[in-house]
Amino acid sequence: MRSAILFLIAFMSCTVLAQETDWQQFVSENPFAEYASTQPQTETETVSATQTSRPVGYKSPKKALALSTLIPGAGQAYAGSYYKTAGFVAVEALSWTMFMIYNKEGKNIEREFQQFADTHWIENDYWDWIARHSGIDRNNMDALREWEEERFSHHLHLVKDQQYYEMIGKYDQFNYGWDDSDIGLLDEDWDISKRSARRLYYEDRRDASNRAFKKATTGVTIAMLNHILSAIDAAWTVSRHNKQLAQVSLRFRPIRYDREALTALTLNVTW
């Protein structure tokens, strides 16, 4: 390629010298000829009008970054780096597969322990225990709830939301709602050995669900990082690609020939 470029430069130089009359006519008609004739410059100075062409094969770093931001590996494919494309695509596929598998597992276990709680945690037993130790009429639910809020840091939710299912297994006050517990125990007599076996099983299943959801979240985090790293790498890969290409520019510049100021068309090649 360099030989072809050097040949082109030599050919243009010979053509200009051989057809001096035609070149001089071109220069005189050039809008920059007046600048060259009235303001002689050194050979290193250039006229403001410059036309620079990008080399063949040039790729846009911004486009590569945008492509990989949307689809990891797409910017690498645009840059022609197909091994990197395969790597980022594989990480993307594995991360979302990880999310779907563990998110499904977490939801299945969640449904399981909620059904278990609906079967074995009896709300009426819990309020019976509250009424027994508060001395409040069992039918006065407003008074029972008020006593519960004053005595404990947590109170039973009216609806079975996420916190409802969390609290009935997490806090000791709700132990007496499990159908295998001894509701006669006072808080002062609490013994860890008296904890409901079904409550312990319930907490194990709830923990298993939470672990699965955390793994699903990890999959999403990996996918997000994959987008960011792929975008950065794509822009860097394209920049390296462009640096390996020949930089060609055409420009007019004033020169002095035979004591006269002339405007010359120059070809600059950098590789």
pLDDT at residue 193, as a whole number: 52
Neighbouring CB atoms inside 10 A of 57's CB total 11
Residues in the chain: 271
pTM for the whole thing? 0.65
List average pLDDT for each run of 10 residues in the chain, which is 271 residues long: 46 43 49 43 42 71 94 93 95 97 97 96 92 90 93 90 93 89 56 74 96 97 96 93 71 69 64 52
- Do residues 227 and 68 lie in contact, with contact meaning Cβ atoms separated by under 8 Å? yes
Domain ranges across the chain: 1-58+246-271, 88-224
> For residues 195 and 176, what is the distance between their CA atoms, to the nearest angstrom?
9
E strand or H helix that includes residue 248: strand 247-257
Note the pLDDT of residue 82. Answer: 93
How far apart are alpha carbons 109 and 103 in whole angstroms? 10
CB atoms within 10 A of CB 208: 16
